[in-house]
Structure 1
Amino acid sequence: MNGPYQGPQVLEITANAGVVQARQLVRALAQECRLSLVDQTKLITAASELARNTLIYGGGGTMTAAVIEDRGRRGVRLNFVDQGPGIPDVDLALTDGWTSGNGMGLGLSGSKRLVDDFVLDTVPGQGTTVTITKWGR
């Protein structure tokens, strides 16, 4: 990435290569926002888990990444969207320790703990959208 980040970027997540590209883009944006190394790692870990979920459970989808500003602080907002089967039991999916057995073991609840803002919108049979934000200090 050359120079400062310009506008939202959309990545297709339709294969493992998309998960790798998502991690690379998130790292670049986190550095652009001058997130601490610890916060970069948290955001990249959450993004990796959510990108993998988008691919495995959602059948593929997109990640939209943007640098945002609010009240003098900068952050990275990521939006993961799929048209998969949705999540039938959100409360269960957000329970600590619950896993379908195929992911990194973080699950949605682990991803939620790693970021500052976490919004899950899912409709069974219509897909899932997860939006996360990590703010710089």
Structure 2
Amino acid sequence: MESMQEINVHLENEFDIVSARQAVRNLSKSMGFGLVDQTRITTAISELARNIVLYAGEGSIYLRAINNGLRKGIEILASDNGPGIVDINLAMQDGYTTSRGMGTGLPGTKRLMDEFSIQSSPGEGTQVVVRKWLR
């Protein structure tokens, strides 16, 4: 897959979450995503970024425009070196939360995007990769 543009946003606080949201909205708009998909992508990155700040304390969001030869899209990698997720299957269930939130973060992000993958190990951090393809 060819990458056309890359953006890295370091996350430590609420202001960084806003920066990540603005960066992905600008990128998705410049790529030609419609308003509905821009909103989906921005919501997804907001959930991922909030998880990093809340659970890991700090981490990074990497955004990039991608092209697989047939179509173009946007890829988001959310990465941290935090405590990791002990039970990914449990974390992917609607309503599950460890922070008194609504429990829509990871499962909601998966529904908003076209592709979703997660890797996490206790004590080693978490990496989530999501993609949305331009229609």
TM-score, normalization: structure 2? Answer: 0.92
Structure 2: runs of 5 or more not aligned: none
**Within 2, Cα distance between the matches of 1:44 and 1:124?**
28
Return the letter of the residue paired with 2:58: G
Of 19, 22, 27, the match for 1:21: 19
Q: Is the 8 A contact 1:98 1:107 kept in 2?
A: no
Deviation at 1:101, TM superposition (A): 3.6
Give 1:106 shift: 2.0
C-alpha distance in 2 between matches for 1:7 and 1:132: 16
Q: Is the 8 A contact 1:14 1:60 kept in 2?
A: yes
1:7 counterpart = 2:36? no
The percentage of aligned residue pairs carrying the same residue is 42
Aligned partner of 1:107: which letter? G
Match of 1:96 in 2: 94
AA at the equivalent of 1:74: K
CA distance in 2, matches of 1:23, 1:102: 23
What is the letter of the counterpart of residue 117 of structure 1? E
The residue number in structure 1 matching 2:82 is 84
Per the alignment, residue 54 of structure 1 pairs with 52
Alignment size in residue pairs:
133
Deviation by residue 1:61-100 (Cα, 9 ceiling, x = unmatched): 0011100011331111011110000000100000122222
Hey, what's the Cα distance between the residues in 1 that align with 2:74 and 2:122? 28
* Residue identity matched to 2:119: D
Contact 1:97 1:107 in 2 (8 A): no
Residue number among 70, 80, 89 corresponding to 2:68 in the alignment: 70
Deviations 1:78-136 (A, max 9, x none): 11110000000100000122222444642201110000011101010000001111111
Q: Could you tell me how far apart the structure 2 residues matched to 1:105 and 1:67 are? A: 29
Letter of the 2:66 partner, please give it. I
